[in-house]
């Protein structure tokens, strides 16, 4: 039985590990950080991105081949989330409406109709009327989507992985190639899946700082507003008693780990103007905490490919998804599984089982 090591226990690593496990392989996850509750995780784990992620699915109409590839992955993930939600209500997944507001919509959005949305695989799509739009917004829509409470969901994935025989090792890695020399109970490493996020020397990688605010206020929808100046205003409900995340900053190459009170006030003010219903009867936010996260981002998009390292060692790279880790997670996991089949010498005609067979 081949032994596969997955480096990284973020959303990409956890999804890939479960997907590979479904193929009958022995799998070990090696990581410095593993999922834990939001009550205990702290700023010292700022580089462990998944707990801080937006963790929801947005409608992004594709306009080029790279975006079309990602769109296909998002649809695959949507189907998987639907199946898991139906079977495991405790997994931390919630299906709800997603609302998009655009101050300066592109032609890709302006051209969206119910017919076009159906062709893109989107469900429950509706263009909003002028009377439903906040001040300053030119175009809006709603559609069926999902979001997750990342601490609940990632812990669920790890628990499933372990109960199905997967092994975990908490250890910091300086170079992925060193893992090939380690001793594991499951035997030598046949293939390493690099889902570490940071790329280990990939010159195309950079971090994007994001500051958000967790509030106790509940919200029945996800809301994303694209402002004309390029900034964002959004909320992602955490559900499962997790409150609601209010955001949106995107600051490339900013390593500052400290949240700004001024930024918090701006985020809350802008979102209240966009979606005043969130303020509830009391007419105010109840702030729980400020959050700063670092999204590993890659120029040119994600890296999903095989590499033959020194000594013929095989590495499958799966990282650099930026802020789309959750919404592309199972599409990427399936891509990893296909690359693994190719390496292990399976016929190019072999059908990869669907994610619904991944023992979830």
* CATH number for position 326: 3.40.50.720
In order of 97, 99, 128, 257, the CA distances from 227 in angstroms are: 20, 14, 17, 25
Q: Across residues 259-286, what is the average pLDDT?
A: 95
Residue 7: which of 209, 203, 173, 121 has the closest Cα?
173
Q: Hey, what are 49's tokens?
A: 């991105």
Q: Is pLDDT larger for residue 299 or for residue 51? A: 299
Q: What is the pLDDT of residue 103?
A: 97
Q: Is residue 165 included in any domain, yes or no?
A: yes
Return the H-helix or E-strand segment holding 307. Answer: strand 303-308
Identify whether 93 is part of a domain. Answer: no
Q: Is 31 a domain residue?
A: yes
Residue 155 lies in a domain: yes
Q: Please, where are the H alpha helices in the chain?
A: 11-21, 65-87, 107-110, 114-119, 150-163, 261-274, 325-343
R_g (Cα) of the chain, nearest Å: 20
* pLDDT at position 257 over 50: yes
Non-local CB neighbours of 232 within 8 Å, separated by 6+ positions: 224, 225, 226, 247, 248, 249, 250
Note the residue count of the chain. Answer: 360
pLDDT in tens, 219-254: 999 999 999 999 999 999 999 988 999 998 889 999
Pairing of the two strands 251-252 and 314-319: unpaired
Residue 358 lies in a domain: yes
Q: What band does 84 get if pLDDT is binned at 50, 70 and 90?
A: very high
Domain presence at residue 41: yes
Using alpha carbons, select from 305, 164, 47, 20 the residue that is nearest to residue 5: 20
Number of domains in the chain: 1
Full residue range of the structural domain in which residue 311 is found? 1-55+149-204+299-360
Would you say 299 and 252 are in contact if contact means Cβ atoms under 8 Å apart? no
Give the per-residue pLDDT at 39: 61
Residue 339 maps to a domain: yes
Q: What is the dihedral of CA 157, 51, 16, 327, to 10 degrees?
A: 100
- Please write the tens of the pLDDT for every residue from 115-173: 999 999 999 999 999 999 999 999 999 999 999 999 999 999 999 999 999 999 999 99
How sure is the predictor about 311, in pLDDT bands with cuts at 50, 70 and 90?
Answer: confident
In this structure, how many other beta carbons lie within 10 angstroms of the beta carbon of residue 255? 9
Beta-carbon contacts of residue 6 (< 8 Å; ≥ 6 apart): 13, 16, 17, 20, 27, 28, 29, 30, 192, 193, 195
The residues with which 294 forms a beta bridge, in sequence order, are: 209
* Confidence category of residue 352, pLDDT binned at 50, 70, 90: very low
CA distances from 254 to 61, 126, 213, 249 (A): 29, 37, 18, 11
User: Would 344 be classed as within a structural domain?
Assistant: yes
Say which DSSP state 85 is in: H
Q: Which residues contact 328 (CB under 8 A, 6 or more apart)?
A: 70, 73, 74, 77, 302, 321
**Does the reported pTM lie above 0.85?**
yes
pLDDT digits (tens, 9 = 90+) for 327-336: 999 999 999 9
CA-to-CA dists, residue 13 to 105, 175, 241, 248, 318, angstroms:
34, 17, 26, 25, 8
Band of the pLDDT at 59, cuts 50, 70, 90?
A: confident
d(CA 92, CA 102) in angstroms, rounded, equals 29
Tokens 């949507």 sit at which residue? Answer: 78
pLDDT band at 107 (very low <50, low <70, confident <90, very high): very high
CA 93/CA 239 separation, integer angstroms: 8
């Amino acid at each position: 039985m081949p032994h596969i090591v997955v480096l990284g226990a973020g959303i990409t690593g956890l999804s890939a590990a479960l997907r590979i496990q479904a193929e009958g392989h022995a799998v070990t996850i090696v990581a410095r950080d593993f999922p834990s509750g939001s009550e205990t995780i702290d700023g010292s784990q700022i580089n462990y991105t998944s707990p801080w992620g937006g963790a929801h699915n947005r409608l992004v109409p594709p306009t080029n081949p790279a975006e079309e590839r990602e769109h296909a992955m998002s649809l695959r993930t949507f189907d998987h989330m639907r199946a898991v939600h139906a079977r495991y209500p405790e997994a931390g997944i919630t299906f709800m409406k997603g609302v998009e507001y655009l101050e300066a919509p592109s032609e890709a959005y302006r051209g969206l109709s119910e017919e076009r949305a159906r062709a893109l695989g989107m469900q429950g799509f509706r263009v909003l009327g002028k009377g439903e739009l906040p001040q300053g917004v030119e175009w809006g829509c709603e559609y069926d989507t999902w979001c997750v409470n990342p601490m609940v969901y990632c812990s669920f994935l790890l628990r499933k992985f372990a109960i199905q025989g997967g092994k975990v090792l908490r250890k910091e890695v300086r170079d992925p190639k060193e893992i090939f020399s380690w001793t594991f109970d499951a035997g030598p490493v046949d293939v390493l899946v690099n889902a570490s996020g940071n790329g280990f020397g990939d010159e195309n990688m950079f971090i994007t700082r994001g500051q958000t605010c967790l509030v106790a206020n509940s919200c029945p929808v996800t809301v994303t507003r694209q402002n004309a100046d390029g900034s964002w205003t959004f909320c992602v409900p955490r559900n499962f008693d997790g409150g609601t995340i209010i955001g949106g900053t995107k600051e490339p190459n900013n390593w500052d780990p400290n949240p700004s009170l001024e930024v918090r006030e701006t985020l809350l003010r802008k979102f209240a103007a966009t979606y005043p219903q969130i303020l509830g009867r009391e007419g105010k936010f109840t702030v729980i905490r400020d959050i700063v996260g670092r999204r590993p981002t890659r120029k040119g998009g994600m890296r999903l490919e095989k590499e033959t390292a020194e000594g013929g060692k095989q590495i499958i790279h799966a990282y650099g998804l930026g802020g789309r880790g959750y919404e592309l997670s199972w599409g990427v996991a399936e891509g990893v599984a296909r690359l693994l089949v190719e390496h292990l010498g399976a016929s190019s005609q072999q059908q990869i089982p669907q994610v619904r067979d991944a023992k979830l």
